[in-house]
Every structure is written in C-alpha cells, then in structure tokens.
Amino acid sequence: MGRTLSPPPTQRGITLVEVLVGLVFLSFVMFSLFTWTSISQRSSMDAAYEFLARQLANEPIEVFQTFGYEWASAYGKTHSVDGFPLAAWTPLIPDGRPGNGYPAEAAGFRRRITLVPVAGPPRAIRIQVEVAPIEASRAQAWLTQDWVQAVGLIVEGPP
C-alpha cells in the first residue's frame, strides 16, 4: 500500500488567490507601519532640533538680562562678549570638550542678536535673537521651521 502525496479529495488546500489576497493585506499593513515609523522619527527629530534652537535663542537673552540695563546699553561700544556679536549671522561653534560649550548639534545653526532701545519711562532695551539652520546641515534637514525667534526686554532698574 503506497501512500500518495496529494491530499484526499475531502481536504482543501490554500489557493493562489487566497495567498495573493493575504500578501496584499500584509503589504498594506507593512506600508502603514513603515510610514508611521518614518513620520514618528521625523517628528521627534524636529522636536529635538527645535528645542535646541530655542535654547540657543534664549541663551543671549539670559546673559544680557543677568548683566542688566547699563551693561547692555553700552554693549558693542565699550565691551563685548565672545560668541555674542550684534546684528550679524554668526555660526555657532561647539567647543568639543565634554561639559563645556554647545553640543555638537549646535554646529548646524547660526544666530543673530539685535539690541534696540525702547523709548519711554522706564528706559529699556529690546533684545531679539534669531536662530536659523545653516544651509545643507543636518539641522536644516530635520527642522521644519525656517528659523526660531526669541525676544526679551531688559528694563532699567532702580538706582
């Protein structure tokens, strides 16, 4: 009694049409999964670079507000601080030493600082900082905004 390799007529196998329908369904699921993963990665990288750009924009405002109105009003005329030039787009250069200076990703950004006196009592200085990605940088590839802006006010304190 020999055995045959074909199934008995009462059992049914999977047809080619069923296999193709399963493959189409599986391809839709995989395409959706890959698209979702790509969008998720893009969103998280955009958020990370936007957070870094906002930190780089807030840094000069904090420094200038710490020194106060008198110091800020004379800034650029009698004194200046390295890394904070006025009215010019300046690339940010990381220090390279751990725990010192900017992170390596900051090299993909440039910054412009503007100080404008505000008339009226009390006297004040408006500080505006714009941070934009450098052309053809990783920051430009991931950041969806063209630039990030932060504005602060340095008010003259009591004598």
- Which residues of the chain form beta strands (DSSP E)? 90-91, 109-118, 124-133, 148-155
Express each pLDDT in 103-139 by its tens digit.
888 889 999 999 999 987 888 999 999 999 998 888 8
- List CB contacts of 21: < 8 A, sequence separation 6 or more: none
- CA dihedral of residues 84, 90, 94, 95 (deg, nearest 10): -50
Rounded to whole angstroms, the Cα distance separating 102 from 104 reads 6
| Structural tokens at position 99 | 């725990």
Residues in the chain, overall count: 159
User: For position 121, what pLDDT does the model report?
Assistant: 84
Express each pLDDT in 53-107 by its tens digit.
999 999 999 999 999 999 998 988 888 887 788 988 998 887 666 666 788 888 8
Q: What is the mean pLDDT of residues 31-60?
A: 90
User: For position 122, what pLDDT does the model report?
Assistant: 86
Rounded to whole angstroms, the Cα distance separating 145 from 132 reads 9
